[in-house]
Structure 1
């Protein structure tokens, strides 16, 4: 986490601006709020391949379950997401709620509704053209509905 990233998060929070984190953005937000990370997936018991190469980035490769009362409650049950990361949340930061989990139990999305923070571990920017639900993530952010 760089000083610039910390300053950007702090400035957005102080200005009461919504924050949408994607992949590393989820990890940065978790650490900013005092959480910790597994530095590598090999330190977890996950059997899901989170580095989906050679599968194209726009192809979903594993399921997640989403809390229905969350900002992502519009996602269908057992939603499929893409995945290419090697770090994951270990301990959740203060004030954050885990709102989606993979079938391996790992956190796939977090939020803090009071501070207008939403973050996902997958990459909806790669699938928004083909996955209307991923497109809606950007729409709720743009509309300030986080």
Structure 2
């Protein structure tokens, strides 16, 4: 039986490797490893081209983490700490997630990916979470994940995936959902009230989390995504 093809969005950033220093489409390999271990065939999807034909060739989609989404996408002026905005990536991923949802493609959003989903459905973001919660525990140091427990809503798909109502997860984000988009149900919170997971009502499998599951050894979310595909 062929493996389901799982598209994973990626960064486009300057990078150095061997003797080269060039603009590169790149992705932390942990995403690839988790998808492969879950039984999927990972395919990296750069922010280019027409999303509509692409989603017809995928069995599932992961919107990966990354820099901040341009605040004009949800009707706000930039906060001084909003950064690493890549308008071309915002354009591509908003188009991709809308095409994926229209088709009913199984979908997992990670960090920025959850925020893209929310904006695509008309929601808004807190641009700098420490202003809201009064601490920096969600992103304790540059390039270093923090750990924090999140509470999962009883009976939610997310809770059923983990088989528990509390999980300790890897965090690295300074933004988070403010107003959830149309059709989204909030299914997890941090202790400080930050929205940590959402699910899309009336969709076969559309789950998004604010934390970074790729940074942990367990692959429950990736396995759930692959299980819900039908290559």
- Residue of structure 1 equivalent to 2:101: 13
Alpha carbons of structure 1 residues 99 and 46: separation in structure 2 relative to 1, 3 Å = farther
What SS does structure 1 have at the residue aligned with 2:181?
coil
Residues 86-133 of structure 1 show CA distances to partners (whole Å, capped at 9, x for unaligned) of 111111111000000000011000001412310000111110x2xx3x
- 2:183–2:201: 8 Å Cα contact kept in structure 1? no
Q: How many residue pairs are counted as aligned between the two chains?
A: 138
**Whole-angstrom CA distance in 1 between matches of 2:191 and 2:143:** 19
Once the two structures are superposed, the pairs formed by residues 56-95 of structure 1 within 5 Å of their partners are: 56-57=144-145, 61-74=147-160, 75=162, 76-95=164-183
Q: Check the 8 A contact 2:138/2:173 in 1, yes or no.
A: yes
Match of 1:123 in 2: 212
Q: Which moved more, 1:116-125 or 1:67-76?
A: 67-76
What runs of 5+ residues in structure 1 fail to find an aligned partner?
none
Moved runs in structure 1, 4+ residues, more than 3 A? 54-57
CA shift, 1:48, in A, is 5.6
SS in 2 for 1:73: helix
Relative to the length of structure 2, the TM-score reads 0.55
How many Å apart are 1:85 and its aligned residue? 0.5
Q: Distance in 1 between matches of 2:143 and 2:191?
A: 19
Point out where structure 2 has 5 or more consecutive residues left out of the alignment.
1-68, 70-89
Please tell me the root mean square deviation across aligned C-alpha atoms, in Å: 1.9
Report the equivalent of 2:223: 139
Distance 1:54 1:28, change over 3 A: closer
Please report the TM-score for the alignment, with normalisation by the length of structure 1. 0.85
Larger-Rg structure = 2
- Asked which structure has the greater RCO (Cα within 8 Å, sep 6+), the reply is 1
